[in-house]
């Protein structure tokens, strides 16, 4: 797990060990009154992940959106190309996609002192 990361105004985690090599899963963290969703920040997120070298060996970029929707972000090099609904189940073992129910819940950052 990598993160939480902030790119393009979105706050999210990157999972690279729950699934087959060559696939990343992003989990949108929010809180969405303070941060953009992954869906709304897709172009900046893809560009940022590529510049950090995280997409160079990962052909699939899947994410769990703020509404719980499981979606694929399509990209070419560092450019976002669009979305595909539903995860390609053929990527996963017979047990199916990873279950994220036991992940720690990250509380919103304390902004009482004005520092972010």
In a domain, 109, yes or no: no
Report the domain count for the chain: 1
Range of the domain at 22: 2-88
In a domain, 114, yes or no: no
In a domain, 7, yes or no: yes
In a domain, 111, yes or no: no
Predicted TM-score (pTM) of this structure: 0.74
Contacts within 8 Å (CB) and 24+ apart, 88-93: 88/60, 91/19, 91/20, 91/23, 91/60, 92/19, 92/20
Q: What is the mean pLDDT of each run of 10 residues along the chain (116 residues)?
A: 88 76 83 90 94 82 83 92 78 53 45 40
In a domain, 14, yes or no: yes
In a domain, 112, yes or no: no
In a domain, 41, yes or no: yes
Q: Measured between alpha carbons, how far apart are the two ends of the chain, in Å?
A: 22
The single residue listed with the structure tokens 């893809």 is 46
Which distant-in-sequence residues (6+ apart) come within 8 Å of 90 by Cβ? none
In a domain, 98, yes or no: no
């Amino acid at each position: 797990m990598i993160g939480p990361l902030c790119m393009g105004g979105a706050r999210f985690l990157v999972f690279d060990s729950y699934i087959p090599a060559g696939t990343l899963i992003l989990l949108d963290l929010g809180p969405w009154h303070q941060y953009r969703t992954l869906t709304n920040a897709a172009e900046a997120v893809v560009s940022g992940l590529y510049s950090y070298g995280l997409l160079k060996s990962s052909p699939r970029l899947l994410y769990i959106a703020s509404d719980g929707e499981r979606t694929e972000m399509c990209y070419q090099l560092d450019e976002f190309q669009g979305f595909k609904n539903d995860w390609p189940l053929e990527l996963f073992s017979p047990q199916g996609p990873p279950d994220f129910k036991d992940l720690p819940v990250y509380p919103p950052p304390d902004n009482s002192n004005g520092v972010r």
